[in-house]
Structure 1
C-alpha cells in the first residue's frame, strides 16, 4: 500500500493570450467544458468563430508571428481522417491525440519536423466521442498488444505524441477525463493510456479512479540540457516530485529520458538525475524507462533555427550519422560508437540505480 504524497505546487501554468473556438467545437460537451475552464482561469481573449475554419495565423513568418502563434490556443473538431488511429512505435499500439501543439519552448522540439503551419496549440473538442470509439482497437496492435515483451501492458494508447497534455490540463481537463474513462469503462480487454509530460501540475489527477490503467511518464534530462534548452517547462526537480506524487497515488509511472545528449560531464549529470528519481519514488513503484537520443532532420533543423535563431543546440550533419528511411526520409543521429557508449552506460546505470525499473526501449 502506498502512502499519499502532496502534489507539488505547479511551477508553470500556461495562459494563452488568444483563444479561438470553432462553431462545432463550441457545440460539443467537451468544448463547453473547456470554455468554462477558460473563463474560470481568467482568459479574456476568447473568440467564438462563426464557422469551423480558423483564420490565417501565418502572419509575416517573422519572430513576432512565431511568438503570437505559440501564445494561441484553438479549440477545434478535427476531420474524421485525423481520428483514425495510427500505430506509434516504439511507444504504443495507437496514437490517441487529445491535442496537437505545445506551449513549451524546447529548442530541440520534435514537433518542428512533424506538424506543419504556425505552431499554435489545437485542442480537440470531440473527446467524448473519441473515447467511446476506442473499443474497436482493443486487442489489435503490434507494439504491446499480444507481444511477448510488453503484452502485460495490454492495448496501449499514446496521448502525448503531438502534445504535452499536462501543460494544457488546467485549461481543458481532457487528460483527467481520459484517465477516468480508462479507469472505469468496461473494456473488452486489457488497456493502458500513456501520457508524457515536462510539467508538474498533477494535483487534479491524484484522486481519480484510474484503476492502474494509465501510465504517467515524466520527460526528464540532464541539468545542463534542461536549463539551456527546455524553456517554459517545469524544472526537472519539480517533475521528479510530481512523478513521486502520482506513483504514491497508485499510478504506474515512467521516465522518458529524452533527448539524451552526450555533453560535457554527461555521465555525472545523468547519474545525478537517476539518483534523484531513486530517492524520490515510493518503494514498490511500477516504473518503466524509455531512452531516446537526440536526432534531427533537415526540415526540423531549418524550422528550429527559424524559431530559435540563437540556439546553441548542436545540429551539425557533419558530426552525425545519416539514416535514410524506406521512402527517402533523412535523419541525423549520433555515430555508432557514440550510440554504443551511451546505450551501454544508461543500461548499466538504470539497472544499478533503479533495479526494479523496466527499460522499454532505446532509440
Structure 2
C-alpha cells in the first residue's frame, strides 16, 4: 500500500549547497557533503572564501526562491558560541544552524535575520557542543528557578532553525542528542528542540538517556493548512512525537502560533484530541505543553508581505495591542480581552483533554 500524502514525512533536499573555505576544513562538513550527495544533490560548490555569494535573483521573489533552496555550510560566528538566555523556553540558546527550508507565512525568523533566507548549518559542531559545559548550572530560566529546576540546565536547539527539518542532510541533531545523552556535564542537563516535521527515524535508536525533549509545533487545521507551507501535516508530526515518546524521549507540544480563526475552539479541540489519541498508552509519558499566540513586529510584517504578497494572514496593527520589549522594540499582540478568552479556553481544554501534560508557559 502506498502511504497517503497525509501520512508521509517530507525530507528536504536542497538544490544548491555551498561550503565556505573555513567550513571545508571541519570534519562535520565532510559528513554534510556526503549526506547531500547521497540525497542526490548535484550542485555542490566549495567557495574560495567565507563569503556566501550567488543568492540574489532578479527580484525579491527570485532571491527568496534561490535562498530557500540553498544549504550553506559555514563556521558559526563567535557570537553564536557565546550562549544567550532564551526565556521563556530555556536557559540557553544552542544554535546548530540558522534558517529554515519551510515556508510558514508567519515565519518567526522574518525580521530577525538579515539578508536572503538561506539555511546555514554550522560545520564546527564539535566546538559548539564542547562549549556547553561552561553553562551548566548557570541558567536563570529553568536551572535557576524553583518551578522548573527539575529540568536541569536547558539548551534550546531550535530558536533559529528546525533541526529535524534539515537532519536528513546534516546529521547535526542526532549528534547533539547523542552528546547530551552520553557526556558527563557535571550536572543535570536537558536538550530541547521543536519541529514541524515527523521524520524521526534517525533519532529513535540514539543514546538520549532521557535528556532530550522533542516537541512538535502544531496548530489548528485552519492555520496549519493555510499558512505552514513546506512542512509535514500535523498528523505526521503527532505520529512522529508518539514514536519518540515510545522510544523514551520526554515529549512536548508547542501550540503555536495560536490564532482565533473562525471555528478556533472546535479546531483546537480536535487538535488536542488527536494529540491525546496519539500519546494514549505511552508508558511513563513525560509531556509538556507550550502555548504561544501570534504576534508580529513592524519589521517582520514588512518582510513577510514581501515574501508572501498574497498572504491572508491577519497582521493589522489596528486590531492588535502594542507591546514593548526591554529595549523598546515594538511587537503587536492580541488585545487583552482576546488573550483572556484564548487563555481561559486553552487552560480548560488542556486540563480536560491532556490532563497528564505539564503547562510550561503561555505567551
Question: For the superposition of Structure 1 and Structure 2, which TM-score range results when normalised by the shorter chain?
Answer: over 0.9
The equivalent residue for 2:167 is: 169
Give TM-score scaled by structure 2 length.
0.96
In 2, the alpha carbon distance for the partners of 1:22 and 1:9 equals 37
CA deviation vs aligned residue, 1:329-354 (integer Å, no higher than 9, x gap) = 11100000000010111011111111
In 1, the alpha carbon distance for the partners of 2:32 and 2:78 equals 21
In 2, the alpha carbon distance for the partners of 1:41 and 1:319 equals 45
In 2, the alpha carbon distance for the partners of 1:58 and 1:152 equals 47
Would you say 1:240 and 2:229 are equivalent positions?
A: no
The equivalent residue for 1:149 is: 147
In 2, the alpha carbon distance for the partners of 1:166 and 1:325 equals 30
SS of equivalent to 2:191: strand
Contact 1:9 1:201 in 2 (8 A): no
CA deviation vs aligned residue, 1:159-194 (integer Å, no higher than 9, x gap) = 000000001001000000000000000111000000
Give TM-score scaled by structure 1 length.
0.96
User: Please, which runs of 5 or more residues in structure 2 have no aligned partner?
Assistant: 1-5
Contact 2:295 2:333 in 1 (8 A): yes
User: Please, which runs of 5 or more residues in structure 1 have no aligned partner?
Assistant: 1-7
SS of equivalent to 1:215: strand
CA deviation vs aligned residue, 1:277-316 (integer Å, no higher than 9, x gap) = 1111124310000000000011000000000000000000
Paired residue for 2:137, among 136, 139, 151? 139
SS of equivalent to 1:148: coil
CA deviation vs aligned residue, 1:72-123 (integer Å, no higher than 9, x gap) = 1100002212211000000000000010000000000010021111000000
Contact 2:7 2:235 in 1 (8 A): no
SS of equivalent to 1:13: coil
The equivalent residue for 1:4 is: none
In 2, the alpha carbon distance for the partners of 1:149 and 1:58 equals 47
Paired residue for 1:229, among 222, 227, 230? 227
Contact 1:58 1:117 in 2 (8 A): no
Would you say 1:117 and 2:111 are equivalent positions?
A: no
The equivalent residue for 2:323 is: 323
Alignment RMSD (CA, Å): 1.2
CA deviation vs aligned residue, 1:133-152 (integer Å, no higher than 9, x gap) = 11010000100013111001
Query: How many Å apart are 1:62 and its aligned residue?
Result: 2.1
Contact 1:287 1:356 in 2 (8 A): yes
Contact 2:22 2:49 in 1 (8 A): yes
In 2, the alpha carbon distance for the partners of 1:15 and 1:101 equals 14
The equivalent residue for 1:284 is: 284
The alignment covers a number of residue pairs equal to 356
In 2, the alpha carbon distance for the partners of 1:263 and 1:10 equals 27
In 2, the alpha carbon distance for the partners of 1:16 and 1:101 equals 13
Contact 1:23 1:50 in 2 (8 A): yes
The equivalent residue for 1:84 is: 82
In 1, the alpha carbon distance for the partners of 2:324 and 2:89 equals 21
The equivalent residue for 2:258 is: 260
In 2, the alpha carbon distance for the partners of 1:86 and 1:10 equals 36
The equivalent residue for 2:3 is: none
The equivalent residue for 1:49 is: 47
The equivalent residue for 1:275 is: 273
The equivalent residue for 1:332 is: 332
| Shift in CA distance, 95/61, structure 1 to aligned 2, threshold 3 Å | farther
Paired residue for 2:97, among 93, 96, 99? 99
Query: How many Å apart are 1:220 and its aligned residue?
Result: 0.1
Say which structure, 1 or 2, has more relative contact order (CA 8 Å, 6+ apart): 1
Within 5 Å, which residues of 2 pair with 1:157-236?
Answer: 157-236=155-234
In 1, the alpha carbon distance for the partners of 2:362 and 2:125 equals 32
Task: Tell me whether 62-71 or 147-156 shows the greater mean CA deviation.
Answer: 62-71
In 1, the alpha carbon distance for the partners of 2:297 and 2:144 equals 33
SS of equivalent to 2:255: strand
SS of equivalent to 1:33: helix
